[in-house]
Amino acid sequence: MPTLQAGVSGQNVGDQWNGYPVSGPITSRFGIIDDAHPQPHSGNDVACDAGTLVRAPFAGQVVLVSRFGDGVRWTEIFGNSAVIRGEDGMRCLTAHYQDPPAVTVGQSVQAGDVLGAAGSTGQSTGVHVHIGLSDDSNPNFSKDEDGGVTRLLDAMTHLSPLAPAAPTPTRRGYASELVASAQIVAQMIERDALAIGVDAMLDHVIATVGALKASGGG
């Protein structure tokens, strides 16, 4: 079964972050028709543990945040979710968070920034993250009139080229990563999402220390 591998911090020192919001086995591929999807599936479903951090696949702006239980049809389907729009008009939907997203509409994000935590809200049969991809020609992620997906994009094949190159592993770079960890915690405290912020900080610290040891710098 194919697996989406995501970098720990969005700029994984010593490697290249490949632009996917979360890591895990793909349980339902884009365009597939199965028992759970009688029409072609509009995205890729990636299974993961509850609480797994969901990250922005590329730099851009948050253009939609939905909160499960608000009575909107979109939210009934995708649950707690967020849409990021890149400068080129590319839009990425990540859905089924366990809690409302840790970001707000209009907020700027960088590749790898934490958006929320994986869950199973909305039309979901288990913990996973639905990853949908579209552009400005189809901002609502609508399917074709016949239920097809020709108006949508396959995240598995379109996100990797958007990944930023890995930074040069230097002590200054590691220090910057640790500073970024503290900044994430501060941002999450402001949004009453401290638990997510602490998890994100630990991810940064573990990745940074591991890279430092691997490079012989510590």
CATH number of the domain where residue 103 is located: 2.70.70.10
DSSP class of residue 153?
A: B
Q: Give the pLDDT mean for 111-133.
A: 93
State the burial class of residue 102 (Cβ atoms within 10 Å of its Cβ: 0-12, 13-18, 19+): buried
**pLDDT band for position 167 (cuts 50, 70, 90):** very low
Domain extent, residue 40, equals: 3-162
pLDDT reported for residue 174? 47
Q: Are residues 137 and 186 in the same domain?
A: no
pLDDT digits (tens, 9 = 90+) for 76-107: 999 999 999 999 999 999 999 999 999 999 99
Which of 144, 162, 180 marks a domain boundary? Answer: 162
pLDDT at 1 > cutoff 90: no
Q: Are residues 97 and 192 in the same domain?
A: no
Q: Are residues 60 and 158 in the same domain?
A: yes
Q: Are residues 97 and 157 in the same domain?
A: yes
Average pLDDT, rounded, for the chain: 76
Contact between 103 and 115 (Cβ < 8 Å) = yes
pLDDT reported for residue 23? 83
Q: Are residues 111 and 158 in the same domain?
A: yes
State the burial class of residue 133 (Cβ atoms within 10 Å of its Cβ: 0-12, 13-18, 19+): buried
Helices (H) and strands (E) in the chain, counts: 4, 10
pLDDT digits (tens, 9 = 90+) for 34-93: 888 888 999 999 999 999 999 999 999 999 999 998 888 999 999 999 999 999 999 999
Total domains in the chain come to 2
pLDDT reported for residue 199? 54
Tell me whether strands 44-47 and 128-134 are parallel, antiparallel or unpaired. Answer: antiparallel
Which region among 7-11, 64-68, 144-148, 206-210 has the lowest average model confidence (pLDDT)? 7-11
Q: Are residues 156 and 191 in the same domain?
A: no
Q: Are residues 205 and 148 in the same domain?
A: no
